[in-house]
Structures are given as C-alpha cells and as structure tokens.
Amino acid sequence: MFATGASAATTLEAVKAKGFIQCGVSQGLPGFSNADDSGNWTGLDVEMCRAVAAAVFGDGSKVKFSPLSAKQRFTALSSGEVDILSRNTTWTMTRDTQLGLNFAGVNYYDGQGMMVPTALGVKSATELDGANICTNTGTTTELNITDYFRSNKMSFNLIAFEKADEVVAAYDAGRCDVYTTDRSGLAAQRGKLTNPDAHVVLPEIISKEPLGPVVRQGDDQWFNIVRWTLNALINAEEMGITQANAKARLKGTDNPAVKRLLGGEGKFGEELGLSNDWALNAITAVGNYGESYERNVGPNTPLKLDRGVNALWSNGGILYAAPIR
C-alpha cells in the first residue's frame, strides 16, 4: 500500500523487497514501448525503466512491464500498481500539480502532428475544416486539437478511443480523415497501417509535448533515483561514455567528472540510497541516451526519427542534463 506522506524510502524499500521494478508502459508503441510475440519489451521508454532497474539492482532485467492505456496510466501510478510510468507521457502543469505526480525529466521532446491519407489531397492542416479526427481518450491531444481548430475557426468531429490500436484501426478503415497524436507516435503507428506509404504527416506541429518518466509525489528519494538515472544517461553521451567502454573509462581516466559519474570519486550513489556504481550499471545496461535513441527510434530504425531538438545542446539540440557533483 502506498500512502501519501509515507517515508521517503517507501518505494525503494518496496522495490527491493519484491526484487523488481514494475514499470507502466504503453499498450504497444513501436520504438518507445512495444512487446514482441514472445512478450519481450523494447523501446526508448522501456530502456528508461531498465536503466533504473540497473541503478537499483545492478541488473537491468529486474523489471516487469504493465501495458496501460492513456486513461489507465495515472490511476495505476497513483495506486501503487506501478512504481514508475515510462509511457510517452506529456509533462503539463495540471498533471504536475493536481494529480499527485512528479515528472523526473524529459527523455523525448515531441510535438503533436496530424496524419492524413495522401488520397485526401491535403497539404496543410488549415485545409481540414469539417474533418473527422481520430485520437486517444485521456490525452493532451484532445485538448490541443480542439484549441487548434477553434483558433483557426474550423469545425471538426472528434472520434476518440481508449486504446491506441483502436485509433489506428479506425483510421485505417476510413472512419476518420485525420489521425492525430505526437509526431513520434504517428511515425510509430504508421507502420501498422495496411499501406503506410499511402499516408502523409502534415507539416504543422501544433503543440509542445515534453515526454518523460513519471513517479508519485511524496517520495523524493525515488523521484531523485529516476531523475538522476536519466541525467546520467544524458551526461554519459556528452562525455563519450558508452555501453561498451564505460568500465574501461572508469579505470583509465583522470577526468574528475567522468569519475564522479561512474562512481570512482565521491559518494553520489550513497546519496540516493544506492551503490556508488549506480550510474555505471545503468549505462552498461542500456548505453548512453544517444545509443538508446539510435537503437530504438533513430534514422536507421523503422521510425526514422532524426535527433532534431533531442540532440545534445552541444550538437544543436536542447538536451541538457544537470551535472553530477
């Protein structure tokens, strides 16, 4: 049972007692959280949970996954059904202040887009007056699409479904003219359509969607563990520390920043209630942020997503992690 005001170590103690982390993910979003026919989960959000498991246990496999709809996800987290929500979830003020949640950071900067059949002959979202639009219930997309159409003085008919696959099926069957969600989600779901090449994502980006891992409020220690695990993966990329070279870098460096990150200097793990090689374990489990990105959603994957704003700040993006010191 997880009660508001419980001791700061409640989640960590519970996780250690059961021997794994319960991670809330999507019901199937390729590149972010998706299970194969054997039940093996992969994706950028999945690897965030594996990194936390490695930081806590020294083993990235000590995690179980709960597929959740957008409508179910916050209840599952608040009730203690899951320990962390890593499910392409947008950080908003209402969610941060009214739902008893804490966003531990951003692991993907996104924006809402719209996909239409090429046969519709539409080149811009401004041509969609009167359109039937499919999306998910319980998401920011419903509010964003309403704002966009109202501000552009256009009418529309919203057709919402709880499960993402229901949205895809309805759009693929022609029940709606438009499918709207985060642009990364459109790239992921496009591959599920009968003829993916017969659809195009329109150029407009109608919102800011900072996506990231979420935990319950009232447990600062667990919040810090998740937040600093994400920071460690981003800092590792900036320092050129990879899944393959992390252990060698620890042994062969005089760089104090590298030593602090990998546990060779200071007691930063102890400050989290973990071992001092927590970040080293996370990096060796999933690689740095860039490796995880390229492996799951990058240009050489079916999603073919360039880094864009998700590149490091030093490479023209806005990705920036606080220092470990």
Q: How many CB atoms neighbour CB 128 within 10 A?
A: 25
Say whether pLDDT at 4 is over 60.
no
- What is the C-alpha separation between 29 and 247, in angstroms, rounded? 32
CATH 3.40.190.10 domain position(s) in the chain: 10-108+211-315, 112-207
Say whether pLDDT at 8 is over 60.
no
pTM (two decimals): 0.93
- Judge contact between 237 and 287, C-beta under 8 A: no
Percent of the chain exceeding pLDDT 90 equals 95
**pLDDT of the residue at 9:** 53
- What is the C-alpha separation between 320 and 288, in angstroms, rounded? 13
Is the dihedral angle over the CA atoms 154, 155, 157, 162 positive or is it negative?
positive
Number of residues written out for the chain: 325
- Calculate the CA dihedral of residues 233, 189, 96, 66 and round it to 10 degrees: -80
Cα distances (Å, whole numbers) of residue 37 to 34, 40, 41, 42, 56: 10, 7, 10, 12, 28
Say whether pLDDT at 2 is over 90.
no
Superfamily the domain 112-207 falls into? Periplasmic binding protein-like II (3.40.190.10)
Say whether pLDDT at 180 is over 60.
yes
pLDDT band at 138 (very low <50, low <70, confident <90, very high): confident
- Judge contact between 86 and 23, C-beta under 8 A: yes
- Judge contact between 214 and 102, C-beta under 8 A: yes
pLDDT band at 6 (very low <50, low <70, confident <90, very high): very low
Give the strand order in the sheet containing 131-136: 156-161, 131-136, 178-182, 112-117, 199-201
Pick the CATH number of 10-108+211-315 from 3.90.1150.10, 3.40.190.10, 2.60.40.10, 2.30.30.180: 3.40.190.10
pLDDT tens readout for residues 206-265 = 999 999 999 999 999 999 999 999 999 999 999 999 999 999 999 999 999 999 999 999
Backbone angles phi, psi at 194, to 5 degrees: -60, -40
